[in-house]
Amino acid sequence: MKAPIDWLAVALLVGLIGPPRMAATGVDSLRVAGPRKSATPPSSISQQSPIDIRGDDLQVVKKQAVPPLTFHYSTHATVDLENTGSPNEEATVRANVAAGDGEIRVGNRVYRLVQFHFHTPAEHEVDEQRFPMEMHLVHKAADSSTLVIGVFLRAGAANAALAPMFSQLPKQSGAHVTVSQVNLKALIPPHEESARYTGSLTTPPFTEGVRWVVIAQPIVLSKGQIAAFAALFPEGNSRHVQPVNGRHVATDDSHFERDEGVPAGRIH
């Protein structure tokens, strides 16, 4: 890890927020099938997502040097669950969120929560390791800029906040299910140390200029909940990691890998 740097340097480094995909072989497994060829390969100077968050690329900064995250999420939202095209590898199950049910303030800028969705296995890697799943919470600002909060999911106890949705995942492409009393606030880990970088959407059209915040601490869900989602995407629905291309990834957590719970050689 590199020593903390001052705000001026951070200002040059920090910008907040394809393509092959990989198939999961099981609830706990990180061994995934080879990447699918991209119809439109990114250029060597592109800023695509996801990436492998590696110690060599991390720039450790003081907490006051990165804009704080302030979540204002409903504890009783109604969401529209949409199957966007399973088992297609570029599809997902997306929870569309009504206006007023979620927003985040990053420094002085406010972003509205538009939707959140899931990938299996996780799209971002941590030193070449992957969690079983990853959730992306997609936000839009008044100027149409995009911020995505990435949250890792690992196997453990059943997740009560996800249970109302994962118990009735729409199984057919294009199907919708309305789910009420969803506790959006409970989807965010209690500790919000993060890695931040500028990247892209991870599905077509892979638009760049997306501000990414990948939270270090994962949340847990049961193996059964993981399996319920994975059953919709037998070949997985995660994009392969993309070249960093010289980008710096800022973090306010000097033990990012440890705090994500990444043991040597395996993620559980």
Identify the band that residue 43 occupies on the pLDDT scale cut at 50, 70 and 90.
low
C-alpha 47 chain-centroid distance: 16
**CA 109 – CA 107 distance, rounded (Å):** 6
Contacts of 165 (CB under 8 A, 6+ apart): 79, 81, 95, 179, 182
pLDDT digits (tens, 9 = 90+) for 101-133: 999 999 899 999 999 999 999 999 999 999 999
Q: Which two tokens stand for residue 170?
A: 């729409």
**CA 105 – CA 115 distance, rounded (Å):** 16
Q: What values do phi and psi take at 198, rounded to 5? A: -100, 130
Q: Which two tokens stand for residue 88?
A: 């297609």
**CA 11 – CA 1 distance, rounded (Å):** 19
Supply the pTM of this predicted model: 0.83
Q: Which two tokens stand for residue 11?
A: 């200002």
Answer yes or no: are the C-beta atoms of 140 and 201 closer than 8 Å: no
pLDDT digits (tens, 9 = 90+) for 182-222: 999 999 998 778 999 999 999 999 999 999 999 999 999 99
- Rg value, the chain, Cα: 17
More confident residue, 147 or 43: 147
The structural domains of the chain, ordered by start, are 7-259 (3.10.200.10)
Q: 220 by DSSP, 3-state: which?
A: strand
Answer yes or no: are the C-beta atoms of 14 and 199 closer than 8 Å: no
State the average pLDDT for the chain: 83
Q: 224 by DSSP, 3-state: which?
A: helix
Q: Parallel, antiparallel, or unpaired: how do β-strands 194-200 and 58-60 relate?
A: unpaired
